[in-house]
Amino acid sequence: MRLSSSERPGSHHLPRLTPAAPLGRLGTMEEREFFNETTESRNHTITCPKCGQAGEYKVTWIVRRKRAQLPRNADERDRARFAKAQSYMVRRDDKLACSNVRCRKPFEITQLQSIAFLTD
């Protein structure tokens, strides 16, 4: 059996230690661990800025609903963050194509919020 330089007798080097968790995340949980994430499509009436015609469009949202219970490996800071957490939606689509047959031009969605909080 061969010993590395850090394990040899008389060696002045300390053995290398590997951290249990990545640096910067010690004792804290990521935000996504507080939520259940799903994708939903919702209909919205949006007006095309090119031709001015209003139409019904399906807009895709990422819905993050707060979990009923905090995960088990949470510390005090995580409990405080979980208490303040709220369910919300993030708009996934940024552009749509006009539904008017004569227009059909793509346009950015500026008439909807990009983040919307949900009331439970």
Predicted model pTM: 0.68
Average pLDDT over residues 93-114: 92
- Would residue 59 count as lying in a domain? yes
Query: Average model confidence (pLDDT) for the chain?
Result: 81
- Would residue 111 count as lying in a domain? yes
How many Å from the N-terminal Cα to the C-terminal Cα in the chain? 62
pLDDT tops 80 at residue 118: yes
Supply the range of the domain harboring residue 63. Answer: 31-67+85-117
Average pLDDT over residues 73-93: 89
What is the predicted pLDDT for the residue at 9?
A: 56
The total number of structural domains that make up the chain: 1
- Would residue 91 count as lying in a domain? yes
- Would residue 14 count as lying in a domain? no
- Would residue 6 count as lying in a domain? no
- Would residue 73 count as lying in a domain? no
What is the predicted pLDDT for the residue at 50?
A: 92
- Would residue 90 count as lying in a domain? yes
